[in-house]
Amino acid sequence: MDSDHQEMEEEMMHQLRSKATELLLREEFKESVQIYSKFITHCQEKLSNAQQTSDLQKLNKSLCLAFSNRAEGRFRLKEYAEAIKDCDQALKIDDTHFKSLVCKGKILLNLNKYPMAYDCFKNASTDSQARGFSENLSGYLDLCKKFEIQSTNGVVDVSDWVLSGFKGKVPEFAEYVGPVEIKKSDLGGRGLFSLKNMDMGTIVLVTKAIATERGILPNDEDCNENVQLVMWKNFISKVMESVKRCDHTHHLIRTLSTGEDENGVEVPNISLFRPETEETEVLNEKFDVDKILNILDVNSMVEDSVSSKILGKNSGYYGVGLWVLASFINHSCVPNARRIHIGDHVIIFASRDVKAGEEITFAYFNVLSPLNKRRETLMNWGFSCACKRCKFEDEIWSRQEPGELEVALEKGLLDMGSVAFRLEEGMKKWVVKGREKGYLRSSFWEAFSRAFESEKLTKRWGKRIPAMEVVVDSIVDVVGSDEMVLKVLVEGLKRSGGSSVGRTSEMERVMKLGRGVYGKIVKRQALKALLELGTRDHS
């Protein structure tokens, strides 16, 4: 090659490298990655023809840096698998390359590979460049350790964030999969089952969304619908992007139900979802848009009311997302778990004591409502509920009176104390006993709550219907803790004043219920703050 040609080529490589770096700094990652790819191809060609050791060294150095920078660009584009490959290429040239070690650490942290990420940051920290590094390496090392512990014991504590009034960065969590397995469920398709006894508030799993879309909904109903539609479209695009970017995400999403042939579906092994599991390479799974749309239809979740109304968010807030493992949890009108959304994570926890072998379920909607109302709501979900409460109530509703009471409740035909009283009398006649009383009291909770909240109704019906504590305990025993029940209890406690002995036990009941509503994510003081916010917000 003549020297003119060589000079021209060197100039062209110099231009490419400068442009790619400039684009990276300007955070135009897609374009930067494209130009780095061109540069890398040229560099590799030159390398294969290079003879002199000094040329080889110079080219290898440039190539190493280019791989490392392309990895950074791909990392920022969330193309994690490709970004890791680039880091490995750079580290093959120089196994102590500082930038590549840090970048690989950050990618592994995002992929929930905490011990491997720790090793990368540890190796990087021994490099002389570590001292001048703007990002805090020891912070990353601490985070890896913290997440590793969290991913094994499932302990999450957001007390400081709650007590600060939700100021600062929204907490981040490690992925955690508790003692659970996926099995066929009597409710429909597959479900998540507990392998151990868990007490109220115990965290079952913590998992990050594949994608979310959030916004504030306007008050106007028509506008509101349009905004929701746009958000839904954006959400779908985000999911599709994630699927295209990552084969593993695609593979996980494809394990979810499309709503068809629920009984013929495969039961995936829970280890597929554990953060410590090595990802097996899944190649060439067909990208089927219709299938993914069906999956999103069945499995997307709207962020629930407690999280959206209380945890530092505005009213009118609306969030939709896809959390893959949580999507295996079936609905039940006798749920034993609840969810709370913080940032992109969903935390699932027991809302009452759960026995080993029990299916973990949560309520997809408000189950403190009567049978026909629940059925109406379920029409939007496209399935009919096969839970034991629905089966039991189906039989009870075959009599005339429960249906009439439901209409009276809905249309306000009777005063609410009267509805509660008639229900209690009816339960004697229909020989409803034990926990099943809790089913029906849950169905007519609105009548009870309004009777307990009104001085006039309490005066009139107080002696003829069971005490608030009795009703609350029987409801919590079957449907777990619920924020609406909690609110009535807290308000009652505030109203009553009562003797200090009585107050202590009532306070304990409130705190226990609070544990079931918020889970073990906060210590006592922060739980009290949440209880205060919860009652203010729902009033």
Min separation Cβ 71 and ligand SAM, Å? 36
- Reading the block at residue 215, the tokens are 């916004």
Q: Which is nearer to ligand SAM, 100 or 327 (CB)?
A: 327
Residue nearest to ligand SAM (CB): 189
SS3 194: strand
Residue 102 CA to residue 133 CA, distance in Å, equals 10
Strand bridging mode 359-362 / 330-331:
parallel
Min separation Cβ 534 and ligand SAM, Å? 26
Q: Which is nearer to ligand SAM, 265 or 427 (CB)?
A: 265
Distances (CA, A) of 291 to 188, 235, 283, 534: 19, 16, 18, 39
Q: Which is nearer to ligand SAM, 384 or 525 (CB)?
A: 384
Q: Which is nearer to ligand SAM, 256 or 490 (CB)?
A: 256
Min separation Cβ 324 and ligand SAM, Å? 10
Do 426 and 401 meet the contact criterion of CB atoms below 8 Å apart? yes
Q: Which is nearer to ligand SAM, 259 or 466 (CB)?
A: 259
Q: Which is nearer to ligand SAM, 171 or 188 (CB)?
A: 188
Q: Which is nearer to ligand SAM, 196 or 391 (CB)?
A: 391
Residue 32 CA to residue 73 CA, distance in Å, equals 7
Do 438 and 485 meet the contact criterion of CB atoms below 8 Å apart? no
SS3 per residue for 65-116: HHHHHHHHHHHHCCCHHHHHHHHHHHHHHCCCCHHHHHHHHHHHHHCCCHHH
Tell me the torsion sign for CA atoms 438, 440, 443, 447. Answer: negative
Residue 469 CA to residue 448 CA, distance in Å, equals 11
Do 69 and 77 meet the contact criterion of CB atoms below 8 Å apart? no
Do 105 and 124 meet the contact criterion of CB atoms below 8 Å apart? yes
Min separation Cβ 331 and ligand SAM, Å? 4
Residue 236 CA to residue 75 CA, distance in Å, equals 22
User: Which among 135, 143, 141 has a CA at the least distance from the CA of 121?
Assistant: 141
Min separation Cβ 140 and ligand SAM, Å? 35
Min separation Cβ 397 and ligand SAM, Å? 17
Residue 89 CA to residue 86 CA, distance in Å, equals 5
Residues that bind ligand SAM in the complex, under the rule CB under 6 A: 187-191, 256-257, 259, 262, 265, 298-299, 327-328, 330-332, 383, 385-387
Q: Which is nearer to ligand SAM, 99 or 331 (CB)?
A: 331
Min separation Cβ 257 and ligand SAM, Å? 3
Min separation Cβ 417 and ligand SAM, Å? 32
Min separation Cβ 177 and ligand SAM, Å? 16
- Reading the block at residue 172, the tokens are 């981040």
SS3 33: helix
Q: Which is nearer to ligand SAM, 385 or 405 (CB)?
A: 385
